[in-house]
Structures are given as C-alpha cells and as structure tokens.
Amino acid sequence: MDQDDSKSEVKNGKETVLKANNAHHKHENTSGGYQINPKALKVHIELDCIAVLLFLFGLFMRLYHLDEPRSIVFDELHYGKFVGMYMKRIFFFDQHPPLGKQLIAAVAYLAGFDGDFKFDSIGSSYPANIPIAALRLIPAVSGALILPTAHHIMLELGFSQWTGALAGFFLLCDNAFLTQSRFILMEPMLLLFSLLGLLSVLKFKKLRNHPFSLSWWLWLALAATFLTLGVCVKYIGGLTFTLCIGILFRDYWLLLGNRMLKGGFLLRQLLGRLAVFLIIPSAVYLAVFYVHLNVLNHAGPHDTIMTSAFQASLEGGLASITHGQPLQVAHGSQITLRHTHGRPCWLHSHDAVYPIRYSDSRGSSHQQQVTCYTFKDVNNWWIVKRPDRNDMVVSEPVDAIQHGDVIQLVHGITSRALNSHDVAAAMSPHNQEVSCYIDYNVSMPAQNLWRVEIINEDQTGRVWHAIRSMVRLVHVNTSQALKFSGRQLPDWGYHQHEVVTDKHLVQDDTVWNVEEHRYTKAEDQKERERELVNAEMIPMTATKLTFWDKFLELQYKMLFSNTESVQNHMYSSDPLEWPFLTRGVAYWVSRESNAQVHLLGNIVVWWSASFGIFLYSALLLWYVLRRRRACCDLPDGIWDQFISIGEVLLAGYLIHYLPFFLMDRTLFLHHYLPACVFKVLLLAATVEHIYLLLRHHLRFKFIAVVFQVVIFSWLLVIFWVFRKFSVLSYGTTALSVHDVLSLRWRWSWHLILHRNVHL
C-alpha cells in the first residue's frame, strides 16, 4: 500500500492544473485585483480511472435485476403513490420537499407510467405493464454516483488516489447503501446532492488565490445549487448545508487574518459569497415548488390538511365554494366554520348534552355539546345572527358582517346559540367550556355574544368573506377566543374533538374561516333544515390562488403539521443502536419462500468505521495535548491535513448524527446513512494517516509492510461479508431456514422466517 508514488502523481497533476489556472487568471495583487487574458482560456479534461471504475461497478451492482422483486418494497408504498399522483396531477401532502419525487416521476413519465397502479400495501405485486426498473432508475444511478463523488472528496482533502479508492471500496461493499439504492427511495438522491455540494465547497476553498475568477464563481455557485437540491429532496439535507456554511465561514475567517489583504477586497469576498448563497438557494427552492404546485392542480385525498382557500384553488374537489354562492357573510348567512390551521375539522354541535359530572367528579353546565368534527355533516351548519334582530333571513340590501361586529351563531338544526361561561372545559380544565345554550330556568344566563376579528383584514378587507377571511371569534363576556384544543372527547362526546375558549387570543388554534356558505331564505325552521341538508350539494369550480399564497401555506403546513402515524414500529431503532448495527429493517419478504430484502449494513465496515471515530478522536486529543506541551509530533503539512479531516469529516459525522437524539419521531436505520458516509470517509483517512506514521514518521518500515498485509486481509473480509449478505439486498434468492439463521449474526437482527422451507 505504498502511497509515495501516488502522492507524487497527484502533486504533479495539481501543479499542471495550477499552471493552467495561472494561464487563465493572472496572479492577483494584495488588494485582490486580477486580469483575465481571453487568449489563455483553455479547457482541461481529466479522466480519473479509479472514479470511473467505482461508478461502473456501483452501477452494475445496482442495475443488476433492478426490476426484482416485482413487489412493493418498504417505502415504495408511499413514494410510489406520490409518483402516481404526479402522473394524475393530483395534489398530495408530504412533509419533505418534492424534488426526489419529481425526478422519479419524470423518468416514469418518459417510460409510459400512467399512474393507475394503486400502491396499496407492502408486498403487493407490480403488474407486468408497470415499468418498475424505470421507477427505480434514478435512485440506482444516484447511488452509483455517490462512489466516485466520495472518492474525489478524499482527493480534495489531500489524500492519495489509493485512499480515495479505499473510501469508495467501503461504500461499494456496504450492503445498506446497495439496498437503499435499488428501490424507490429518497436517500440516494439526498446523499448524492449533499456530497456534490461538499465536493464543490472543497474545490472552491482551493481557489483562494484566484478570487472572482470564473472557476471561483463556478464552484461557489455549484456548491449552493447542489446543497439546495439536497434540501429539496429531504429537509435533513440542511445538515450538510450547515456543515458547508461552517467550512466557508472558517475559510473566510482565515482570510480576515491576512493583513496583506485590503478591507475592500475582503468586503467584496463576503458580499460575493453571501449573494451566491442567498440568490441561488432561493431561486432553486422556489423553482422546485413552482413546478410542484403548478403540476398538482387537481384535488385529492390530502386536500383536507390545507385551508379552505387552498382547496378551493384545486380542480375537482372543494373547488370554489364562492362560485354560485354569496361571498359576503351577512345576517342570515348559513355557514360552516373550519379550523384553519393544523388538524382539519369543523365547528359542530348535536342534540346531546355534557354529562352532569365528568370522570374526575367535576360538574359541567349540562348544556348542549359543541365539538370540532373531522367530517362533513349537516350538524356543522350555523346561522349568523345580529343580536338585535329576531329573524334569521338575509335582507335586501345584504347586512354584511364586518370586522369588530358582535354576532350570535345559532346552530342550524337545534336552533340553539353558541355560548360560553365560567365553567371548566371537559378535557382542558384551565379553559372555559363552550356549549349551545339551553334555558334550564336556573341562575345561568345566556352568554352568547361573539365579536368577529378578521386577522387578514389588510388582504380581504373589513367585510367578512367566505373562504378567504381568517377570523377570531372573541367571547364578549369573558374576552376569550373560541379555540380548538386538539383533545379528544370520551364516549359521551362521540370521540369528537374539544372546543373551548382561551384567554390567550393570538394563536393558530383560535383561527377559523367560513368554508361553505349560503343565504337563509326561509323563516320556518323545517324549511331551514331542508335548506341546510341541501346545502351539501353545491356546484364547484376552481378559483385562483397565487403561487405565493399556496407556497407560503404549504411551507407552514410542512414545517408545523405533524402527520407522523407510525409509533413503536417493530423495526424502528434508537440512534444509540446505529453505530454498531444493532438492528436492521425488514423491507420485503416473498410469499413463496424466505427470499427477502432486509436493510443491513456491512457489519465489518460499520464496526471498523465506528472504531475509526474513536481512534481519530483519541489521536486528536493526544496530538493537542502534546502540542500544548510544545511537542510537535507531526510535520506542519501532515498536522494541517489531520486537522482538516476533523473539521470536515468528524464534524460532518457529528452534525448528521447528534440531532437525531433530539427528534421526537419514529426513526429507522436508514436515517443514519448520511452520518455513516462521513464516518466511512473518516475511516479511510485514518488508515492513511496511520500508514504514513508507520512508514515515514516513525520509520517502522517492516511494521508498515505488515500493516499493508493486514489491510489487504481486512478488505477481503469486507468483500466476503458483502457477498454473503448481498442476498438480503437483492431479494432474488430463495432462502432455507438454515440460510436465514446463518445470516442472523446478532440476536437483534430480526430476519423473517415465515415458513419452513428446505432447499
């Protein structure tokens, strides 16, 4: 594993490139000035054979039997549905940005996928007409491109070609990365864009002596673009973005320490970096969502999580309730009130009362229940009434309700008014109960006056409008706002959601909007009931909503809506279990045999890389303590390189790993893959560092030779383990009970044995 020659070749190659750069950009003065010679512009194309081989081997391993198994594998259930919705242009909601789904959908469209297939359950078979290989192509190619990208990152950090090849080999022979790259999953694209962004940042750093050159701008722009694309696949890509911002900040901090550079030059450097990292990420992020929102313009099953205005902008669903219906809410309006933010539900009442006493022995008002109901129902209808008018019929001209007006809300079916009073709510005792008032002829007078406060008055005006106006209903007697508490009522409340009043007015759960709306025409109660029932049948067409309105609402929902439904999954895992591969994830199992796809890393690589984290950290501590004692064990060049890999690779590992300890959600092994990439690269870097110490610094040449033999044997073991567990990555091999048990190297690896099959 002699690296002198390879380092010399790399050095010579870098000197050649530097000369070419100097021909393209004349040397700067201390103020940062430069001149470009147009005649010296040259294009150099370099072919890295190791990188090409890594890509080709990786691509072959991922494309091999890519259409097998012909069944839905793990999260293909979700992402396949999203791709199908792109084909049908049906709006869907996902808490992650849409770029990864868009790329897969683009290839699926070119392959003739029509989106008719329903991704109903894991293990369901794909029909013969589904281009499953095309659907899995983008993740597979992305997974293959990760290998040469990792190789070049090692080169940019100053390591030899052999160390770059070693890092690529580790990733090539890791079963988890292979498995994750063979199905309709997002991690390969996330990792590729993130690593390309990191590579671009490292290349940009090396152009410190060529500021504002074409290459300087190019690599800075590519860094901003790739890092944003990673974020546009999954928000977890923001961790790599944060790492790279830190690297760029440290690079600029070092520039500030150079007293030869003038202040104007440093200011231009700062403004140039800020401009690129503000303009390009914003443009890329907006472009991704612009495509997303313009393609998905039809109503679908996820609409209800969005506001009424958003739903009304989609074709074929709730579209444009205001079309054919009144826009202005007035005295005599029949309305449904929707909780605007968070969980979709409608203000509701029914002919049932609160129990006299709750389970904790507290007494209630025994008034008519008011709840928030998650389904459309005739009991969701209310009539708006002026307190000083007895009729509930819309007059001519229309008596429109405005911001600050006091109203009553009369339940359409029971004709009882929305009420609140100084009685503790059923599930939220610190809040007031909300009811529909029943006159029991006792000392509890009606308190049924509500003040209308239009929150977005500057956008919709002072008049209360259906759909667009967001309102807060403030109880006049107590100055508390009508609020969706989010708590579920017990059996006596039919498991609907609690509605209360809260003295803290300004919060999302106190915001409501009118969704369905019509004017009351009949005086008679029975006629009004017939109107309310028929009000469900309304002709609907699409209305306009600007891109910015839809974009901002979608961002709010993605950041603050919790759609997590998986709890205590048998294959979920804790971050403490990831470094040593305590458990994997069952992705798929055949119905005819024990052939299965199971996410497991190469245990030799993972354990070695985890040990590499410890070894590098121990060496770093030792060197720092020695230097504190004025003992410089390493030459300056090797020391600088050792520190740089800590700043990039160790910091990258910690940034991508530690945040998961703070996440309150169900986690799986694949969440560890971004961090795992960094620890694998750090392992390769540590191997070279130890080799250089043995061969050159400590002069233990014999031990260095033994070290080479050990490394070669270690690589053979890694390859053997990869081959043995590859059956769990491809899922094409029928396994007997003995085969499965022979792969269960740890008791916590829950491989599936669903029938006794002997082969």
Residue partners of 586: CB distance under 8 A and separation at least 6: 571, 596, 597, 598, 599, 750, 751, 752
Which helix (DSSP H) or strand (DSSP E) does residue 597 occupy? strand 596-599
| pLDDT of 704 over the 90 cut | no
Q: How far apart are CA 676 and CA 684, in angstroms?
A: 13
At 295-348, the pLDDT tens digits run 999 988 888 788 888 888 888 766 544 456 788 999 999 999 999 887 789 999
Query: What was the pLDDT predicted at 745?
Result: 94
What are the φ and ψ backbone dihedral angles of 241, each rounded to 5 degrees? -55, -45
At 544-569, the pLDDT tens digits run 788 999 999 999 989 887 655 445 67
More confident residue, 356 or 534: 356
Q: Which one-letter DSSP state was computed for residue 482? A: E
**CB atoms < 10 A from the CB of 312, how many?**
27
Query: What was the pLDDT predicted at 303?
Result: 82
Percent of the chain whose pLDDT exceeds 70:
88
| pLDDT of 28 over the 90 cut | no
Residue partners of 356: CB distance under 8 A and separation at least 6: 363, 364, 366
Q: How far apart are CA 495 and CA 558, in angstroms?
A: 27
How confident is the model over 284-302, as a mean pLDDT?
A: 93
Reported as a pLDDT band with limits 50, 70 and 90, residue 531 is low
Name the least confident of 37-41, 47-51, 424-428, 500-504: 37-41
At 706-723, the pLDDT tens digits run 888 999 999 999 999 999
Cα separation values, 522 from 322, 407, 531, 552, Å? 21, 20, 8, 41
How confident is the model over 466-487, as a mean pLDDT?
A: 94
Note whether 358 and 364 are within 8 A (CB): yes
Name the least confident of 182-191, 459-468, 642-651: 459-468
SS3 712: helix
| pLDDT of 195 over the 90 cut | yes
Which range has the top average pLDDT, 151-155, 392-396, 748-752? 151-155
Reported as a pLDDT band with limits 50, 70 and 90, residue 266 is very high
| pLDDT of 205 over the 60 cut | yes
- The per-residue DSSP string of 663-680 comes to --S---GGGGHHHHHHHH
Note whether 683 and 690 are within 8 A (CB): no
Note whether 464 and 452 are within 8 A (CB): yes
Name the least confident of 70-74, 83-87, 564-568, 639-643: 564-568
Query: What was the pLDDT predicted at 692?
Result: 85
Cα separation values, 756 from 260, 590, 734, Å? 76, 13, 12
List the one residue out of 346, 353, 395, 393 whose CA is nearest residue 373. Answer: 346
Query: What was the pLDDT predicted at 32?
Result: 41
| pLDDT of 539 over the 70 cut | no
Reported as a pLDDT band with limits 50, 70 and 90, residue 4 is very low
More confident residue, 563 or 691: 691
Query: What was the pLDDT predicted at 756?
Result: 56
Residue partners of 134: CB distance under 8 A and separation at least 6: 107, 108, 110, 111, 113
Reported as a pLDDT band with limits 50, 70 and 90, residue 7 is very low
Note whether 25 and 34 are within 8 A (CB): yes
At 601-618, the pLDDT tens digits run 999 999 999 999 999 999
Query: What was the pLDDT predicted at 58?
Result: 97
How confident is the model over 113-132, as a mean pLDDT?
A: 93
Identity of the residue numbered 612: G
CA 715 centroid distance within chain: 35
Query: What was the pLDDT predicted at 45?
Result: 66
Query: What was the pLDDT predicted at 308?
Result: 84
| pLDDT of 572 over the 60 cut | yes
| pLDDT of 523 over the 70 cut | no
Q: Residue 63 is encoded by which pair of tokens?
A: 């494309």
Q: Which one-letter DSSP state was computed for residue 400? A: B
Q: Which one-letter DSSP state was computed for residue 483? A: E
At 55-66, the pLDDT tens digits run 999 999 999 999
**What mean pLDDT value characterizes the chain?**
88
Q: Which domains does the chain have, with CATH numbers?
A: 55-291+583-740 (no CATH), 324-535 (2.80.10.50)
Query: What was the pLDDT predicted at 23?
Result: 40
Dihedral sign for Cα atoms in the order 72, 76, 81, 87: negative
| pLDDT of 14 over the 90 cut | no
Note whether 669 and 585 are within 8 A (CB): yes
| pLDDT of 26 over the 90 cut | no
How confident is the model over 732-742, as a mean pLDDT?
A: 92
More confident residue, 580 or 38: 580
- The per-residue DSSP string of 316-362 comes to TSS--TTTTS-SB-BTTEEEEEEE-SSS--EEEEEEEE--SB-TTS-
Residue partners of 676: CB distance under 8 A and separation at least 6: 174, 176, 578, 601, 606, 609
Query: What was the pLDDT predicted at 176?
Result: 97
Which range has the top average pLDDT, 134-148, 309-323, 414-428, 436-450? 134-148
List the one residue out of 561, 496, 89, 485 whose CA is nearest residue 304. Answer: 561
Reported as a pLDDT band with limits 50, 70 and 90, residue 467 is confident
The pTM of the full predicted model, rounded to 2 decimals, is 0.84
Query: What was the pLDDT predicted at 529?
Result: 59
Query: What was the pLDDT predicted at 126?
Result: 95
* Residue 34, Cβ density class (10 Å: 0-12 exposed, 13-18 middle, ≥19 buried): middle
At 369-399, the pLDDT tens digits run 999 999 889 999 999 999 999 888 888 889 9
Reported as a pLDDT band with limits 50, 70 and 90, residue 576 is very high
